[in-house]
Amino acid sequence: MNSAGKLPPNWTTARLDEVCGINERSFSPLPAAHHMPVHFVPMAAVQEEFGGIDLSAKRPLGEVLKGYTAFVEGDVLFAKITPCMENGKLALVPKLVNHIGYGSTEFHVLRTGDAAIAAWIARYLSQMEFRRAARQDMSGSAGQLRIQTQWLAAVTVPIAPLAEQQRIMQRVDEALSEIDVGVIELKAAKRKLTLYRQSLLKSAVEGTLTADWRQHARTRETGANLHARLLCERRARWEARQLARFKAQGKSAPKDWRERFDPGTAPDTSNLPGLPDGWVYASIGQCFEVAVGATPSRQAAEYWGGGVPWVSSGEVSFNRITTTRESISDSGLANSSTQINPAGSVLLGMIGEGKTRGQVAILDIPAANNQNCAAIWVSETEVPPEFVYYWLWSRYDETRRGSSGNNQPALNKSLVQAMPVPIAPIEEMREIAERVSIQFAGIEAQDREIDRLLRMAAAQRQNILRAAFSGQLVPQDPNDEPASVLLERIRVRRQALSSQTAQARRPRRAAC
């Protein structure tokens, strides 16, 4: 990163293992100390971008003595595994109760000596430029890439005189503290926008948002009447498809074929919020066709790269889908159980731990999809897709917890069909879709501006650190002891200690 030619005269460079102990043993406790509480730091307790460390958790020493990483106050914890390293999970350990702590085995522990202060090393490693370079040299399997100790030990770091290190870190702390205050305010504003969006969704799909509209509106059709009409229309579309299929197969319609139609079941409304007069609950399967997709064989190259847009579940993320990352061919479509969903379908993520399950999107183009999301063909009806989209978004927490399956909690087509959805008069649903769309546009504009300011703050942080480690942040003092002199004195002392240790271990010859 920094070359010696670009450093001030009294600076030098050194390998990291020349100025730091790396993953050293902390101490050997007495057996009586095994019940002593010590701080315990999992990876989640270290914030990203050098944002701090949570030391609130404690465990008995005997429980963590083996199988965890030990550290003491003043050490630097540096995440070794992806993506934690890239995200800047790094911390300077503050004062500890009972002197010692333990944490995740995915931390490297750096302990500075006489040539560098801990904050100097911690801030240097926190630079984005350093993390990018480290990412190129990680090794291991996909998803388990790590920074190896040997690579970290050989990293070259700039070393300023000790007194200058103190001055620079003081200035860095002052400058970054100002940025941190602004970042805290921006993140608080972002959280408020999220809460406002959730509140807006709730008021929209429960009828509060349009309470004023209902006082003056004269609706032609109640939600109950619309529900009955949607069911009749869905049956008519199903019968038309069945007859078309029989005709394509050259077959006559079998006896009693109409009885195969599934009208769906009414939803359980016992735990659902109340609705305004004129609204009713229905199940998604009563009102809309629900389709699940599939992934054409990846081994068949001719199935991919054609003219049919294909949506993976990772693209379903509270958004509108206007393009897709992948496409399939007509043969890929014909040789898998997926289908083309009409524009205006609402896609719902069905599979995946964490956030994937329960996320929704509106499909703005005709497209096929994979087996991990369901397509609700709302656009076959008069119901605005946005209304169903907003309803499912408002139910995200409940939807992602609903599941079936053993190894991975998941939704399936039957569970999606059984999900409740409120049905309001069609004019009111259109009014809700328009009002929420306008409000969301404002929220998204503010959200983008906050993200822009956060990116600017991150860039300013990196600029400050870059200036710090190139000697541009504070003036140099020619009276400071050069870092090269200090390092040479440390090397001589280490060599002398190493020689003394070797002599002490050398066996003595027996006297003749």
Give residue-wise pLDDT tens across range 24-76.
876 666 677 888 999 999 999 999 988 899 999 999 999 998 899 999 999 99
Give the pLDDT confidence score for residue 512 in this predicted structure: 46
Domains of the chain with CATH codes? 4-159+475-505 (3.90.220.20), 222-228+264-424 (3.90.220.20)
Give the pLDDT confidence of 323-375 residue by residue, as tens digits: 999 999 999 999 999 999 999 999 999 987 656 889 999 999 999 999 999 99
Which is nearest to 287 in space by CA: 257, 258, 313, 267?
Answer: 267
Read off the pLDDT of each residue in 480-504 and give the average, rounded to a whole number: 84
Q: pLDDT tens across 149-187, in order?
A: 999 999 999 999 999 999 999 999 999 999 999 999 999
Q: What is the pLDDT of residue 255?
A: 87
Burial level of 302, CB count in 10 A (0-12/13-18/19+)? middle
What is the rounded distance in angstroms from the CA atom of residue 418 to the CA atom of residue 507? 82
State the pLDDT confidence band at 495, using cuts at 50, 70 and 90: confident
Q: On the CB side of 417, how many CA atoms lie within 13 Å of its CA?
A: 13
What is the total residue count of the chain?
512
Does the pTM exceed 0.85? no
Rounded to whole angstroms, the Cα distance separating 119 from 103 reads 20
- CA dist., res. 158 & res. 143, Å (int): 31
Q: What is the pLDDT of residue 143?
A: 76
pLDDT band of 3, cuts 50, 70, 90: very low
The amino acid at residue 136 is: Q
Verify cis geometry, omega within 30 degrees of 0, for the bond prior to 83.
yes
pLDDT at 1 over 60: no
pLDDT tens string 182-215 = 999 999 999 999 999 999 999 999 999 999 999 9
The SS3 call for residue 450 is helix
Cβ atoms 93, 75 nearer than 8 A: yes
